[in-house]
Structure 1
Amino acid sequence: MTTAPDFSHLRLPQRHFHALDLSRLLAAIMVLFWHYQHIFVPPVPYHVNVDRAIQPWYETLGWFYNHGHVAVQYFWAVSGFVFAHVYLADRSAHARFWPARVARLWPLHLLTLAIMALLQGLYFARSGTEFIYHTNDLKHFLLSIPLMQYWGWQENQSFNGPSWSLSTEILAYLVFWMALPALRRAPLAVAFVLGTGLLWIMLAGGPNKDVLSCVGYFFLGSAAYAATLKGWLRPASLLPLGMALVAIAFALKAQYRAGDAATVAGTFAALFLTLAIDLSDAKGRLKFGQKLGDASYGIYLWHIPIQLALVLLIDSTGQSRDIARQPWFLLFYFTLAITAGFISHAKFERPAQRAVFALWGRWKARA
C-alpha cells in the first residue's frame, strides 16, 4: 500500500490573505478610472485619444486616470500567489483544478459576452460603428466563448474588451497545472525561473507580449509565495524591499521606453507591501477584505456593459456626453459598477459555481 505524498509543508498556516483580497477590489476600481475615458469617445470606427484632463477631479486623481491599466498586471501577480497557496499542497489539485476554473470564470464571462454582443448591436444600429472595441465579428465571438480570443491570433480586443486579460490568464493556468509536479519539488526555483525568464523575453521584445507578460507575472507571484514559505519574505524585509521597488519603478518610468520595466517593479512593490500588511495582521483585523475582494471579478466584467448602457441612454436622450465631466456622474458610474460587482457575486456567480460543481459531480458519478 503506497502512502499518499505529504505536501503540507507547501502551504502557509495563514488560511486567507485579507489585505490581498482587499487590494483586488482596489485594483478593479483602478481599471474603472482607466476606462472612464471611453465615455467621451464619439461614434467613430477608429481609436481616439481623449484629453484625460477633462475627467472629474483630474488634478487629484490624474495618476489613476493615466495608469489604472497597470492593475491588470497586479491581478496576474496576485493570482500566481493565491494559486500557489491553494494548489501546491492540495493532493487533489489536478482533478479539481479545471472544474474550479470553469465554475469561477465562465458563467459570468459568457453572460457579459452575450450582453455586450447585444449592446454593441444596438450601438452599431444607432451610430454605424461599434463602441471602443471594433473587432466584433463572428471569429472573435467564437474565440471569446472558450476565452481563446487573445492568444495571438486576434486583430484587437473585442466585445467585452477587458476579458482579454482572462484569455491570457487561462494560458498561465495551463502552464501552472502542467508544471505543478515540478513546482512541488522546487517551488521557488521553478516559479522564479519561469517568471523572470518570460518577463525578460517580454522586455526584450519577444513575440506575443501580452501572453508572455501574463504568464511571467503569474509565476513571479508564485515565486513570491515560495519565498514566503522559506521565510525569506517577512514584514521586516518586505517593507524596505517594497519601498525600494517603488523608487525603482518611478526611476524607470522617468526613462524613455522603460514603461514595462517600471510596471514590473511597481507591481511587485504593491504585492510586497500588501503582503507585509497581511503578515502583520495576526488578529485578523482585515478579515472584511475577503468579502470586499469577492466583488472584483464582477466589477471587472460588468463595468464596460454598464458604461455602454449609459452611453446608449445619454445618446438616445440627446444629452451631451460632457455630462460625464461632472463629479456626480463619476460617482454614479462607480457606484453602479461596484454595486453590480457585489450583487453579481452573491446572486449569480456563487449560484452558478454551485450549479457547475453539481453538474461535474453528476458527470463523475456516471463516469
Structure 2
Amino acid sequence: MVELCIFWLYADPIRQRSVSTRRFFWLRLSRLYPLHLATLLLVAGLQWLYIRYHGGYFVYPLNDAYHFILNLFFAPAWGLEKGFSFNAPIWSVSVEILLYAMFFCVARWLPTRAVYALLLAMAGLYLQSYSVLIGRGVFAFYMGALVYVAYQKLVTGGLVYRGAKPLLLICLAAWLATLLEFQLGSLQVVLSKFCTTSCAGTGLEQLKALWVTGLLLPITILSLAVSETAGKGGWERTAWLGDISYASYLLHFPLQLIFFTLFADLLPERAIFYSSVLWGGYFVMLISSSLLTHRYFERPAQQWIRRYSIQRPRI
C-alpha cells in the first residue's frame, strides 16, 4: 500500500517539477527518521544491558560501532553490512530509502506507464542475483507502480463501481488458492517430478515468493483501493492502522528485548512464550505503544522537522 500512496502523492508532482528534490526527501525523512533514531538508541542501550546480565546479545549479534554508523545513516541493508544488527527490521526501510532515490529519478524523467513499471520490476528480479534485499525491494516497489497504473485506469475509465465486486472475488479466490497450496503442497509434488528434491524445494520457494509479491499482494491492494474509492469498504474506519504501521513495525523488536531483558531469568521455562495469553498480551502492548508513539512522538517530530526544514525561508 505504501508504493500505491507514494505514486499517487508524488509521481505527477515530481514530473511536473512542483515538488523539488529537497522537499521530497525532507518529507520522507521527516516521516521515517525520528522514530528510527529513537528505536536505534533504545535498542543499543537495551542490548548493552542484556549482554551485561545474560552474557550475549539478544537475537542480532552485530551491535558494534561500524553497524551503528550504518544504521545511523539508514544504510544497514545497502550491501555494506555483515548481517542484521540493532533494530534489524529497519533493513526494509533502509532499502526503501534507495527506492525513493530511484523513484524520484524515474518519476522526474519518465511518465508513469505500465511498460516502464513492468521493466523495472523485472530488473528487480534480475538484481536479486546480486542483492536479494535490494532486488526484492525494487521488484515489490514497481509491482506497486503497476497497481497504481491499473487503479488510475479504472478511475479514469469510470470502471471503479463496476470493478469493485469482480476484483474482490478475484482477490478472495487468489487468497483461497494460496491457503490451499500452502496447506496441501500440491505444487511441490508437480515440481518433484521434474527435478531433485532440493531443486524442487528451491523452485517452490521462489515460485511462492513470486506469487505472493508479484500477484497476491498487488491484487489485494488494488481490490482494497478500488473498494475504498467505490465507497463499499468502509475502510476509513481502519485508517488508524495505517497511521501506526510504522511504529508497530519498529517497536515490535524493542518490546521483545525489553521483556527478555527484564523477565527472562524469572520465567520457569521458555515454553511459556508459546502461550496464547502471552502472545495476545504482547499485541495489546504493541498496538497501545504504537498508538501513543504515533500521537505523542512521531507526529510532533514530523511536524517540527517539516516546519524548520521545509517551510522555513531559505536564506
Of 218, 221, 237, which residue of structure 2 is paired with 1:271?
A: 218
User: Are 1:119 and 2:46 counterparts?
Assistant: yes
The Cα shift of 1:187 comes to 2.5
Of 36, 40, 46, which residue of structure 2 is paired with 1:109?
A: 36
Q: Which residue of 1 aligns with 2:271?
A: 322
CA distance in 2 between counterparts of 1:160 and 1:142 reads: 13
What RMSD in Å do the two structures reach over aligned CA positions? 2.4
Number of residue equivalences? 285
Q: Residue type of the partner of 1:270?
A: L
CA distance in 1 between counterparts of 2:84 and 2:187 reads: 26
CA distance in 2 between counterparts of 1:299 and 1:141 reads: 22
Q: Which moved more, 1:143-152 or 1:251-260?
A: 251-260
Q: Which residue of 2 aligns with 1:227?
A: 150
User: Are 1:169 and 2:96 counterparts?
Assistant: yes
- Which gives a bigger RCO, structure 1 or 2 (Cα 8 Å, sep 6+)? 1
Q: 1:98 to 1:119 in 2, by over 3 A?
A: same
User: Are 1:238 and 2:167 counterparts?
Assistant: yes
Q: 1:337 to 1:312 in 2, by over 3 A?
A: same
Q: Any gaps of 5 or more consecutive residues in structure 1?
A: 1-77
Q: Deviations over 1:269-307 (max 9, x none)?
A: 133134324323433622112122111111110111110
Contact 1:253 1:259 in 2 (8 A): no
TM (norm. structure 2) is 0.82
Q: 1:318 to 1:265 in 2, by over 3 A?
A: closer
Contact 2:147 2:222 in 1 (8 A): no
Q: Residue type of the partner of 1:303?
A: H
Q: Which residue of 2 aligns with 1:260?
A: 206
Q: Any gaps of 5 or more consecutive residues in structure 2?
A: 189-199
Structure (1/2) with the larger helix percentage: 2
The Cα shift of 1:239 comes to 4.1
Contact 1:245 1:265 in 2 (8 A): no
Contact 2:126 2:135 in 1 (8 A): no
User: Are 1:189 and 2:115 counterparts?
Assistant: yes
Q: Which residue of 2 aligns with 1:152?
A: 79
Q: Which moved more, 1:224-233 or 1:341-350?
A: 224-233
Identity %: 30
The Cα shift of 1:209 comes to 0.9
Q: Which residue of 1 aligns with 2:8?
A: 85
The Cα shift of 1:112 comes to 0.2
Q: 1:252 to 1:343 in 2, by over 3 A?
A: farther
Contact 1:252 1:261 in 2 (8 A): no
Q: Residue type of the partner of 1:227?
A: A
Q: Which moved more, 1:320-329 or 1:168-177?
A: 320-329
User: Are 1:98 and 2:25 counterparts?
Assistant: yes
